[in-house]
Structure 1
Amino acid sequence: MEHAELGRRIYATAHLTGEFVLRSGQTTDQYFDKYRFEADPVLLDEVARAMVPLVPAGTEVLAGLEMGGIPVVTALARHTGLPCAFVRKQAKPYGTARLAEGAETSGRRVTIVEDVVTTGGQIVLSTTELRALGAYITDALCVINRNPTTPPPLTTAGLTLHALFTSENLTPTA
């Protein structure tokens, strides 16, 4: 599927209008409900296929952030053959008590995978924690960056964001 058509399908499936409060605390009248495109297996597969060229060379593990990054990273791993880790917002206090489940991240080149990015706050928090556990992280991928450029918190954290779409180029006529 061509990029513009994929953008139109994501927009038609996930774009909502109204009043919404984002994780960052910002309010907006435009919202992309990621769960709508993540819950459509055919559309999610097309999104993952389109994201493959965005995966930086040398990536050893794809790390999806709870909760929306999990379906995206799982689909992306199918297309890249790379192992994936599922990163919690907090390490669970029982069982393995791990922050990241699945593939080992310590000592490996890890690329963070997220669905929609506004400020990048959760990416920065998770990157900081994974780096403290020995992961080497310089890049993050997302389906939709709500900004025309990389949010400053990501740049400050030494991260490069690779977005499949920005909200500016994700329109009904994308």
Structure 2
Amino acid sequence: MADIDALAARVRAASHLTGTFVLRSGRTSTEYFDKYLFEAEPALLADIAAAMAEHLPAGTELLGGLELGGIPLVTLLSARTGLPARFVRKKAKEYGTRQIAEGGEVAGRRVVLVEDVVTSGGAVLDATRVLREQGAIVEDVLCVIDRQEGGRERLAEIGLTLRPALTRADLEAAEPRG
């Protein structure tokens, strides 16, 4: 538990912002965890990937990082675990291979999605739908932060298990007292 507490404190210190922020879901929040701030710090990013690797379910064949914040995470997680990565776009390119999932086939393979922050789960739902249409088996999602604002429940509705390294409660517990 001490390791998670220390990681939560580091992630909070690196990325917690206050103000008025519009989230992907369209909702407004007075706090924001800027994933680019923790993803830009190599030592912190490596420790986050280590924490995420502990939640990786048995039987995982591929890691699918969601554009854009999931890409650095999936890259480090792939290097750490030896599992191949796929890079999942928000929409297919209009040129070249025109793929949603870059890096190789997903059909018939057990793909664990990798995301930075889950609030409502909208980006994960979109990616899951497309990957399942391509024949991928998608049942699990790893994320750095579960904001605990309904995403886990929305994902569960379509058979996804959310496996966060940290939750909003972990980050709140790490808030400096003063």
Question: Please, what TM-score do these two structures have when normalized by structure 1?
Answer: 0.95
* Residues 148 and 167 in structure 1, CA contact (< 8 A), matched pair in contact too: no
Alignment partner of 1:42 is 2:43: yes
Aligned to 2:116: 115
SS in 1 for 2:105: coil
- What are structure 1's unaligned runs of at least 5 residues? none
Distance 1:56 1:16 in 2: 32
* Residues 148 and 166 in structure 1, CA contact (< 8 A), matched pair in contact too: no
SS in 1 for 2:30: strand
Aligned to 1:127: 128
Distance 1:36 1:173 in 2: 17
Cα deviation code 1:51-71 (max 9, x no counterpart)? 111011000000000000001
Report how far residue 149 of structure 1 moved: 6.7
**One-letter amino acid matched to 1:156:** E
Aligned to 2:24: 23
Aligned to 1:10: 11
Question: Please, what TM-score do these two structures have when normalized by structure 2?
Answer: 0.93
Aligned to 2:142: 141
Report how far residue 151 of structure 1 moved: 2.9
SS in 1 for 2:111: strand
* Residues 5 and 170 in structure 2, CA contact (< 8 A), matched pair in contact too: no
Alignment partner of 1:168 is 2:169: yes
* Residues 88 and 102 in structure 2, CA contact (< 8 A), matched pair in contact too: yes
Q: CA RMSD in A?
A: 1.5
SS in 1 for 2:172: coil
Report how far residue 124 of structure 1 moved: 0.6
**One-letter amino acid matched to 1:61:** L
Q: How does 1:51-130 map to 2 (within 5 A)?
A: 51-130=52-131
Query: How many residues are treated as equivalent by the alignment?
Result: 174
* Residues 35 and 116 in structure 2, CA contact (< 8 A), matched pair in contact too: yes
SS in 1 for 2:64: strand
Report how far residue 173 of structure 1 moved: 2.7
Report how far residue 138 of structure 1 moved: 0.5
**One-letter amino acid matched to 2:106:** T
Cα deviation code 1:112-168 (max 9, x no counterpart)? 000000010110111010000010011101000000775332011110000011112
- What are structure 2's unaligned runs of at least 5 residues? none
SS in 2 for 1:28: strand
Distance 1:2 1:153 in 2: 29
* Residues 150 and 160 in structure 1, CA contact (< 8 A), matched pair in contact too: no
